[in-house]
Amino acid sequence: MAEEEPRAKRTRVAVERLGDDAEVAEVEESGPEGSGEPLGEIDYVNEMIGKIKDDDVARLLHTICYGKPGKQTTRKKGLRAFNGWADASVAKTKADKLATNNKVKVTMIKEVCGVLGLEKSGTKDELCSRVTEFLAKPSGENVVKSAPKKRKAAKGKKKKGKKGKKGPKKPRAPSAYILFCKVARPKVVEEEPDADQKEIMSKMGAMWKALSDDEQGKYKKQSAALKAEMEGGAAEASEEEAEESEEEGSDEE
């Protein structure tokens, strides 16, 4: 009896299973289903998505939008394309699931609010409702914060020029009243030795007012003469300084 030939062994072919990421990619490729603005077309949100550094925040936001965390390489692209859910009423259900998920911390929800430009205050329930209500039909009108402005390159600070030292204050000619007080004060002090400074000044003020025009005119003339004398001296000093400056300039040449 002839021996039977051994049967050829079957080659096992690995079955390629679609994981979570493949499901998400399929959802993203089919296009957004909602009727709101794509997140990528809302200036502030678009810029904030680009600035996400924490993968946990991006995964959480992607999970809220699509139900899965998505691939790292296409996650932000998917977020920018998202424009809401076909049935906006699911927002309440999603908010409840999110709020009761102990793995999702309040700090993470606040980070998501920051990306979407939403208010960060409130309880976990309030934050979750705020996020899902916005994502049900995204709109730039509901964004609290405006798009970040690009900082202008800081201009070099202008160095302030050193201010020249001010010269000593020029003495002023005493007024007619001051000249009168110099004469009247010794008399008042002699007559009222116990009077204080205020009383002495008050007394001299009354005496000045009691003078006739001619008597006041005498002191006014003295004041005018002193003023003219001082101004004349100042003018001469200025001329001398100018001449000295010219001489110094010619020496340097």
**Residue 27 scores a pLDDT above 50:** no
The predicted model gives 172-187 an average pLDDT of 84
Determine contact, residues 117/135, Cβ cutoff 8 Å. no
> Distances from the Cα of 21 to the Cαs of 27, 76, 112, 174, 243, in angstroms?
10, 14, 21, 95, 91
Which residue carries 């996650």 as its tokens? 75
Report how far residue 31's alpha carbon sits from residue 77's, in angstroms, rounded to the nearest whole number.
12
**Residue 181 scores a pLDDT above 80:** yes
225: its two tokens: 């003469």
Report how far residue 39's alpha carbon sits from residue 49's, in angstroms, rounded to the nearest whole number.
9
Determine contact, residues 47/91, Cβ cutoff 8 Å. no
Give the tens place of pLDDT for each residue, 49-82.
999 888 899 999 999 999 998 998 999 999 999 9
pLDDT at 204: 83
Domain ranges of the chain: 20-142, 176-252
Using only the alpha carbons of the chain, give its radius of gyration. 46
**pTM for the complete prediction?**
0.48
Q: CB count, 10 Å around CB of 46?
A: 16
Determine contact, residues 140/37, Cβ cutoff 8 Å. yes
pLDDT at 182: 85
**Residue 35 scores a pLDDT above 70:** yes
Q: What is the per-residue burial (b if ≥16 Cβ within 10 Å, else e) of 70-82? A: bbeebbbebbbbb
What's 137's DSSP letter? S
The predicted model gives 148-169 an average pLDDT of 59
The CATH number of domain 176-252 is 1.10.30.10: yes
Give the tens place of pLDDT for each residue, 85-96.
988 888 899 899
pLDDT at 172: 78
Report how far residue 122's alpha carbon sits from residue 124's, in angstroms, rounded to the nearest whole number.
7
Report how far residue 136's alpha carbon sits from residue 93's, in angstroms, rounded to the nearest whole number.
11
